[in-house]
Each structure stands twice: as C-alpha cells, then as structure tokens.
Amino acid sequence: AEYGVFVASKRFLPFPSSFARSTKRKLTTSPEKTPKVELFTVSPTEAPIRLDAFLCKTLSLPKRLSHKFLQSGNVLLNNRPIKKKGLFLRANTTITVQMQGSQDSPIPNPKLPLSILGQSPGHWICVSKPASMSVHPISPTETETLLNAVVHRYPDIIGVMERGLKCGVVHRLDFGTSGAMLFALSDLDWRNLRDLIKNRVVKRIYHAFVCGIFEGDEGREELCLKMRKGKDLAYVTVVENGFGTNTYLNWKVLERFNKHKMMLVEINLGTGFTHQIRITFSHKGYPILGDRIYGKETKGWIPGFNDSRQMLHSRRLEIEDQVIECPYPKDFENLFSILRTGESVPFDVFYAKRFQNAPSGSK
C-alpha cells in the first residue's frame, strides 16, 4: 500500500511553477576533464564486504549514488571497469576510483549576501540559506544560488569531491526552506562531514510551524519513504511494502497557539531523506504551514499572513564542539508576532476537520 499524501491525486498536478523551478532548469553538458584517481584497499577487518557497501563507506556516498557511480564505469579492479554492485571484496583487494568531474563550476556572484554562522577555518563553513533560494546551480549560467555566493568568498571550494556545480555541498535544504547548512572546503572534510552526519554525530535541528494541535509533547516518527517523479517535479510517498528507505525523526512541541490551531515544533532529524520532515508531518495529519506539495489545505490558514513557502527552518547545527544557531528569518518573526498577540484560549485537543481524513496508521 502506498500513500501519496496530498500529492497522489491527479487533481493536484501540475504543481505551482514556483515549486517546479528546480526541475524546469535545463541541464547543460560540457567536456570532461582529466579525472582524479584514488586507490582504496579493503582492510582485513572490513572483509568480506560488498563493492557498493565499500564505496558507500570510503566515499561517504548514499547507496543510490554508489550504484550510479558503478554504472558510470569509474570503478576499476585490475584496471578493468567493474559494475557488479553485489561483488564481495576480499581483504587487501585494491580498487581504483576515478573521480570524474566536469569543467563546469559555479560562477562567483559578489552581489549575493552571505551570512557565515560558524566555521572551522580551512575545513568547513556553516552559512545561512535564505528561503526561496536554490542551494546550487544545475546550469553553468545560473548565478543566483547559495553556492554562487560561497564560491565568491571561498574560491578553493571549486572542485571539492569533483562535484562540478555541487562542489562542497555536504547536505541540502529545499528551495523554500531556510536556515543553517554546511559546506566542506576539501575532499577529506567533505567525506568526514558526510560520515559524521551518517553516524548521527552532527545534530540537525529544525523548527516548523505545523497546522493543527495534536496530543503529546514529544515523540518519534518512523516511515518508509520512496521518491516519485511527477509531471513537474519529484515528490515523496509513504510505502508499507518495504520497498523504500526507512526514516525516522524525533520531535517535541515548543509552543502551542490554540486560538490559531497551530504549533511550533522542534525536529531532531535522524535520517536525511528528501522532504522527510514535510511528508512526515503531512502523513501524521498536521502539515507544515505553506507547504504547497504536502499541505495544500494550509493555504490561507492564518489570514493576512503570506504563507508562500513552507514554514520550515534549519535552526541549529551541533558539530564538533560548536553549537551553531541560525536566527529566525523575517517571515518567522512576523508569524510569531501574529500568533502571540492573539487572545489565548484554554487548551483543548483539536483535530482540524480538514485533516480528519488523514491516512490510516497516522498517529
């Protein structure tokens, strides 16, 4: 069984153009440059290990990207390309990895503002991403993304992990999501940061305004998710047959606004799946305010407030010995002002009528 919460019905397609922006940008091709070659040897403690698992571990890649990497022919064993992901490697086996990049690189844009929240000089930076801004370009001619601003301040980030127009990007935030995010300044630091995130050493804390009031002050949500491709953009569905990715997150209620039937929720992200927070709360029956994909019913929830983007903010990153907090953007502050100046009413558990038909199994 599969739930495409708020997106499965054809009547919701096509999606609004503002949310289809990232998929409508045209990809361009460019000549390849000489690949960077690295050797990796399987240690006795690792063996035997599947080839795809070894790539995930050594290159800090998600499994799906390791499979694409294998199919590209850039992994060699005995100087011959090997594409069999399930091949088991013995101890002391050495594979050659060609880090195949392209000549494309982001164009520095000195006109874009860049707010540095924290850093480890020479290793990584944590910056504030505005809402309604893409993290990186997908065309060499794009210049209005966050990475264009980063490249202007940190030109050495070009070529990190040979990721072309995604150089240095450790994790992503959706186009409409604001807040703190990390960029690595070297190949080694990119891998280290990816490992820290994978092993839950780096804590990623988000704040979100959700519509409706639910019971409990804290909890944990586990879902099996799968990406789907719609007419205009990709979206996520919840699956129960196990053919997806198991995800989890922990949440706690920070503040209830009973008059407006809304809550401010803090989310500690466990796994990192595309749209995970948004689909999780939508599936639960309490979508994030302004979410045009998973919570269309939230439009106009607060009269007079411009809910043109999902009210989700990457509030805090805890990395190494640093706790880096990103200030709330103006629309968050405006919403706080509206919600906190209203007359308070006695708390009463309220399930909004709009969400009484939430998918079965939602909590």
Instruction: Rounding to the nearest 10 degrees, give the CA dihedral for residues 178, 103, 59, 53.
Output: 100
Beta pairing partners, 110: none
* Total residue count of the chain as it appears in this document: 363
| Cross-strand bridge partners of residue 206 | 267, 314
What is the token pair recorded at 255? 């503040």
| Residue 118: its H or E element | strand 116-120
* 98 bridge partner residues: 37
Say how many C-beta atoms besides its own lie within 10 A of residue 140's C-beta: 16
- Give the contacts of 307 (CB within 8 A, at least 6 positions apart): 289, 290, 298, 299, 300, 301
> Cis (ω within 30 of 0) for the bond into 137?
no
Instruction: Based on the residue annotation, tell me whether 174 is a catalytic residue of this protein.
Output: yes
Q: State residue 88 phi and psi, 5-degree precision.
A: -90, 130
80: helix, strand or coil: strand
* Per-residue CA distances from 247 to 110, 242, 272, 280, 342 (Å): 38, 12, 8, 9, 36
- Please tell me the distance from the alpha carbon of residue 278 to that of residue 265, in angstroms, as a whole number: 12
Secondary-structure breakdown of the chain: helix, strand, coil percentages, each rounded to the nearest 5: 25, 30, 50
From the list 52, 104, 156, 174, the catalytic residue is 174
Beta-carbon contacts of residue 120 (< 8 Å; ≥ 6 apart): 320, 322
Phi-psi region of 235 (alpha: psi -120 to 50; beta: other; left: phi over 0): beta
Burial class (CB in 10 A: 0-12, 13-18, 19+), 217: exposed
Collapsing DSSP states into helix, strand and coil, what is residue 337? helix
Q: Which two tokens stand for residue 156?
A: 């050495």
**Matching residue, tokens 């088991």:** 88
Catalytic residue annotation? 174
